[in-house]
Amino acid sequence: MSKPIYLDYAATTPVDPRVAEKMCSFLTLDSGHFGNPASRSHSFGWEAEQAVEEARKQVAALVNCDPKEIVWTSGATESDNLAVKGVAEFYAKKGKHIITSKTEHKAVLDTCRHLERFGYEITYLQPELDGMIDLAKLEAAMRPDTILVSIMHVNNEIGVIQDIAAIGELTRSRGILFHVDAAQSAGKVPIDLDKLKVDLMSFSAHKCYGPKGIGALYVRRKPRVRLEAQMHGGGHERGMRSGTLPTHQIVGMGEAFRIAREEMAQENERIRMLRDRLLKGVQNIEEVYVNGDMERRVPHNLNISFNYVEGESLMMALRDLAVSSGSACTSASLEPSYVLRAIGRPDELAHSSLRFSIGRYTTEQDIDRAVELIHQKISKLRELSPLWDMYKEGIDLSSVQWSAH
């Protein structure tokens, strides 16, 4: 059985061979680079530290910030936890109101819900039907006791790009800190933290052809952003995040971000063409809806609802394609995607959606084969679908009284 065609880059990406090679040189004994970067007393430690600082520069370079503003974490989930809880705890005396959106990743949403148990009030903004956050509504939600706004740059399910430049202007003018989850945008969308009025930004390596288990949090120094550390211990990362730094992981992330910086523009072009090819291939199928704004969207993502076909059965039918319905983290639950719900998709459409995410190693053949399979399987599943029959007969399904069993 051959491997499925991988179109789930938004869930995770393969490690770029150049990244893997760099990492290996920090894992083997003969290279001598296995030292604890915090060991001050010998060259094993010094070399490891040097490698860590080099990688820090590489990450900073992709987003145009000072390397000192990069804090290593175990991933974007931890970065999100650190940003939101860190600000909430440090600035608690200033206020306990936080604004976020209903379409954030669970790492932000669950953290916010956790804070609600400690007397924090959270406003969860509803996006518009195209997935975008309305700035007027954001402004209206701001209060004197608002200490943080957390809005993701690119949504993991529908790929829409929020206007973080404009949001940053708004938050800065009100003296409110602005956190951005950039797990899905770093390496895909240019980010300039010198210009953007963003105070905290979360990064993930494994969404950008780096290894799993390593990420970073950008913490602005000018003006200075303070945080309550969430992992206490040896004082690493200027006291913001303790724990032995995993040299090989960090080196991997650095290399991944270096490659992204050099190849992003070109890669985006190629990926856009592939995505458009995919869209063209399935657009002619009846009752197909793209979720999320097509213009303000990363070229890598295509989230489509196939009406009258159930998402999980479609995924099973499309066994030869690795895609996802809903986000990876929550694919264990059978609830319809909360992101699609938030942009106003009725449950049935939300249930029949698939997220296709294209990446560095996707080929034209992959896309063509995917289109072929989609046509095949949709026809087949619709043949079996009583709802499809009813639709074809012109019955308005919303007027049907369904009886319970």
Partner 1 sequence: MIYLDHNATTPLDERVLEAMLPWLAGAYGNPSSGHALGRAAHAALEQAREQVAALAGAHPSQVIFTSGGTEANNAALKGVAARLPVSCLAVSAVEHASVQQPVAALVRSGWMATTIPVTDQGEVTAQAVSAALGDGTRLVSVMWANNETGVVNDIATIAAAVRAAGAVLHTDAVQALGKLPVDFAGSGAHLMSVSAHKLNGPKGVGALLVDKAVDVEPLLHGGGQEKGRRGGTENLAGIVGFGRAAELAQAELAARSSRMSALRQRLEQGLATQVPQAVVFAAQVERLPNTVFLALPGIDGETLLLELDRLGLALSSGAACGSGYSEPSHVLQAMGVTADIARCAVRVSLGVGNTEDEVDTLIAALRTQAARLQAMAATAW
Q: Of 55, 63, 98, 108, which lies in the binding site for partner 1, with binding defined by CB under 8 A?
A: 108
Q: Report if residue 399 touches partner 1, rule: CB under 8 A.
A: no
- Regarding 126 and contact with partner 1 (CB under 8 A), the answer is no
Q: Considering the complex, state which of residue 108 and residue 349 has its C-beta at the smaller distance from partner 1.
A: 108
How many residues of this chain interact with partner 1, rule: CB under 8 A? 76
The stretch near partner 1 (CB under 8 A) out of 58-66, 134-142, 238-246, 289-297 is: 238-246
Q: Report whether 147 contacts 96 (CB < 8 A).
A: yes
Does 112 qualify as catalytic in the annotation? no
Contact track, partner 1, 131-170, x by CB under 8 A: ----------------------------------------
Tell me which stretch binds partner 1 (CB under 8 A): 77-85, 129-137, 293-301, 368-376.
Answer: 77-85
User: Nearer to partner 1 by C-beta: 8 or 157?
Assistant: 8
Q: Min. distance of Cβ 245 from partner 1 in angstroms?
A: 7
- Nearer to partner 1 (CB atom), residue 136 or residue 332: 332
Taking residues 324 to 353 in sequence order and writing x for each that binds partner 1 by CB under 8 A, - otherwise, the string is x---xxxxx---------------------
CB of 169 to partner 1, least distance (A): 28
By CB under 8 A, the residues from 19 to 58 that bind partner 1 are 20, 23-24, 27-29, 32, 34-36, 38-45
How far apart are alpha carbons 62 and 261 in whole angstroms? 5
Distance of alpha carbon 207 from alpha carbon 19, whole angstroms: 13
Instruction: Among 51, 56, 70, 81, indicate the residue that binds partner 1 (CB under 8 A).
Output: 81
- 187-206: which residues touch partner 1 (CB under 8 A)? 204, 206
Q: Binder to partner 1 among 135, 141, 264, 315 (CB under 8 A)?
A: 315
For residue 165, the minimal CB distance to partner 1 (Å) is: 26
Q: Identify the residue among 147, 245, 282, 370 touching partner 1 (CB under 8 A).
A: 245
- Catalytic positions, please? 329
